Amino acid sequence: MSYGGMSKEDQKAVKEEVNRARQDRQVQPEANRAAYKAFCEAINRIDNIVGHKKDFSQLYGPKGMKIIVAAYEVVKTQSEEIFRDRKNPPTKEEQEVVHRALNVLQDVLLTKPMAPFVRDLSIEFARLVTNWDKAICKCQPIYRECLVIDQLARGHLSLMTAIDVLKGLVAKGQRHLQYTPPAFEISRAYLELDKE
């Protein structure tokens, strides 16, 4: 690269600026590539789930959706910054937005019927916020709320599985109760004769 009549200090400053620009466009070394790939997959899963915007706006309401989307953008943007080796701690307002979004999710999990896409969004969003919190925020209340949301959603999944298993067992039990082996019929007839 030709620097013309620049001083060595100016040349050094230009080189640093070029290197900084390259770093902005790339994820840092190999160790972060796997984490970045997992992060991108999580973002894609959330984006696919949020494709049900009509259902979400009915469930969360327009205000709740705005809060969740704002928190999602904060977490997504700051998480991307981590992979570019730029950690900017979140402001109190950003933490509050994430906190309110977690409250909205938790409220819906506790008070409304849980559709599969709500459960999936809750689990994925809680995982994304937990990773963001561990890397940048380190806010104990946010971490606890993520754990509560994850446990509520996964607990619901476990209950639904248990209900399905129990339904199968009840059906099987009813079939067994209706079955009477031929030997029982003969014994009943013999008892009837014995009574006479």
Band (pLDDT 50/70/90 cuts) for residue 25 is very low
Residue 2 predicted with pLDDT over 50: no
126-136 pLDDT, tens digit per residue, is: 988 888 888 88
SS3 label, residue 144:
helix
- Interatomic CA distance for residues 194 and 196, integer angstroms: 5
Tokens coding 156: 């619901």
The pLDDT assigned to 120 comes to: 85
Residue 8: both structure tokens together = 């060595």
Beta carbons within 10 angstroms of residue 163's beta carbon: 10
What is the rounded CA–CA span in Å between residue 180 and residue 123? 48
**Which tens digit of pLDDT belongs to each residue from 53-104?**
566 667 777 788 888 888 888 888 888 887 777 777 788 888 899 989 999 8
pLDDT of residue 191: 65
Q: Is the pLDDT of residue 28 over 70?
A: no
Task: Quick: pLDDT tens for 106-124.
Answer: 888 888 877 788 888 888 8
Radius of gyration of the chain (CA): 29
